[in-house]
Amino acid sequence: MSSAPDRQLGPDLAIATSIGDAADVLVIGLVSGPGSSDGPDADATPVPVVGDGILDDAQLAEISASLTAVGASAGAGEISRIVAPASIGASSILAVGMGARSALDDPDTVRRAAGVAARTLTGVGRVVTTLSTVDLGAAAEGFFLGAYRFEEFRSDKTRSTKAPLASVALLPGTAARDAAAELDRARSIATAVAVARDFVNTPPSHLYPEEFANRARTLGETAGLEVEILDDTALIEQGYGGIVGVGKGSSRLPRLVRLAYRSGASDAKKVALVGKGVTFDTGGISIKPAAGMENMTSDMGGAAAVVATVVLAAQLGVGVDVTATVPMAENMPSSTAQRPGDVLTQYGGITVEVINTDAEGRLILADAIVRACADDPDYLIDTATLTGAQMVALGTRTPGVMGTDDFRDRVAGISRRIGENGWAMPFPEELSADLKSRVADLANVTNHRWGGMLSAGIFLREFVADGVEWAHIDVAGPAFNTGGPWGYTPKGGTGVPVRTMISVIEDIAALG
């Protein structure tokens, strides 16, 4: 799966049976130890994480002595490079700090360590790692995603002179039951995350509603999905007032993409995915400040994640039916743009007074949610770079999760378990009254700034059909990293929340 067919999204990944004699670098982990205590009396001496039977006692002793000599630290993300013992075969050893020994129970510790190693080892040909003896799948994902690079629009003048990490051989641990299957799954998941990153990183000059829809069609048809695309004329004819209203200010008119995966099981649960696809957001007539507006290329991060996830669900053959409904629009100010004070009719008939044209994401999501609910799904997940209030409340790395109580908590718990760190948020009922309109059924924003993330979720709740288990994931900060890279997360598009959504889908397949 690739948003650009000729692009290699990550390094080659393979299972290794031994370190061999052709590795450029052996990547290992370091934890504080050697005991299991994490309290103040714990021995802070770094202990290599190498798995059982891979290195002998003499090799381990030599590695430990060299790491001590260079002052190696087990602090999370700290790196140390030493010459490898001649008997190992690798030219050098890169040790990555993983923190306390107990942190090894968290797969994201392995994922982050592998990502740090991948970012460090640019220009390196072949790497062998023992991080995979702790968790093979997490190590594979971390190396793949840590090595991710987006340079499509750079000339030779500014393109990196060092190639990204090319090849990683993973040594499985003794507990690995089916290493090949685990690696295949990890590779598929990491590729899907990278595809979502590519979409987000592609500038709006090259990714606009029609082009986004065409690329989604190609991915969907390649994966054997049912594909339907509504153009601007069809959207008007069928009453998608929210999508039309947001998109009509641009010369590049809106689209609605539907991608459906059928599991083939007669009793399969049905999961609906909806993602906000604003390919660029100026704010419309309620125009945004100029500073930082270039980051609004990321305002289709929810749509990117949803497209990648439904394709991934098909590739993994999950035992549920998954349908993605993806509205795509560009929010521009012009003589044809909607105005503050306009009233539009959402798909399904609810009328909305547009108080602020920069609260556009909820308008296109509302149409898509109503359409998705027409298929009678058991579960609905929508995700969007929806509100700056998400970052005010939770920072740039923690998605806010809202929805029906039980499913909201289930999604947030899974998100934390897989390292995307979603956090359950409430729906204070007093905010509902603040969405009343003077002239329509609803206003698209409240008349104050308090609880902005929550009131956006409450607005969306009005469009979710009764009986549907629903979760809304606000990824305004987590979908796009404006700071420096960390762990396996690069600057720019992150691919959040692809891994959350596929993990929830698999959980539904397993437990209903």
Catalytic member of 197, 269, 276, 362: 362
Q: pLDDT tens digits for 93-150?
A: 999 999 999 999 999 999 999 999 999 999 998 999 999 999 999 999 999 999 999 9
CA angle 37, 40, 41 (to 5 degrees): 60
Contact yes or no for 94/101 (Cβ under 8 A): no
Residue 2 has pLDDT above 60, yes or no: no
According to the model, what pLDDT value does residue 220 have?
A: 98
Residue 5 has pLDDT above 80, yes or no: no
Over residues 415-438, the mean pLDDT reads 97
Per the annotation, the verdict on 270 as an active-site residue is: no
Looking at domain 12-173, its CATH superfamily turns out to be: Leucine Aminopeptidase, subunit E, domain 1 (3.40.220.10)
Residue 274 has pLDDT above 90, yes or no: yes
**Residue reference for tokens 């702790």:** 134
Q: With bands split at pLDDT 50, 70 and 90, how would you rate the model's confidence at 21?
A: low
Q: pLDDT tens digits for 169-181?
A: 999 987 667 999 9
Query: 234-239 long-range contacts, Cβ below 8 Å, gap at least 24?
Result: 238/347, 239/345, 239/347, 239/348
Return the closest-CA partner of residue 475 out of 413, 405, 406, 394: 394
According to the model, what pLDDT value does residue 74 have?
A: 95
Return the closest-CA partner of residue 138 out of 112, 165, 164, 168: 112
Residue 328 is encoded by which pair of tokens? 């795509």
Catalytic member of 288, 397, 417, 491: 288
Q: Domain residue spans in the chain? A: 12-173, 210-511
Per the annotation, the verdict on 461 as an active-site residue is: no
According to the model, what pLDDT value does residue 34 have?
A: 52
Q: With bands split at pLDDT 50, 70 and 90, how would you rate the model's confidence at 37?
A: very low
Residue 447 has pLDDT above 70, yes or no: yes
According to the model, what pLDDT value does residue 176 have?
A: 65
According to the model, what pLDDT value does residue 41 have?
A: 42
> Cα-atom radius of gyration of the chain, to the nearest Å?
24
Q: With bands split at pLDDT 50, 70 and 90, how would you rate the model's confidence at 1?
A: low
Residue 399 has pLDDT above 50, yes or no: yes
According to the model, what pLDDT value does residue 23 have?
A: 83
Helices 179-201 and 136-146 pack at an angle, to 10 degrees, of: 30
According to the model, what pLDDT value does residue 321 have?
A: 98
Instruction: For 121-144, give the secondary structure using H, E and C.
Output: CCCCCEEEECHHHCCHHHHHHHHH
Return the closest-CA partner of residue 95 out of 32, 182, 163, 148: 32
Q: Which CATH architecture has domain 210-511?
A: 3-Layer(aba) Sandwich (3.40)
According to the model, what pLDDT value does residue 17 have?
A: 85
Q: pLDDT tens digits for 474-497?
A: 999 999 999 999 999 999 999 999
According to the model, what pLDDT value does residue 291 have?
A: 96
The per-residue b/e assignment along 477-492, b for 16 or more CB within 10 angstroms, e otherwise, is: bbbbbeeeeebbbbeb
Residue 238 is encoded by which pair of tokens? 């069928």
Over residues 329-347, the mean pLDDT reads 98
| Mean pLDDT over the full length of the chain | 94
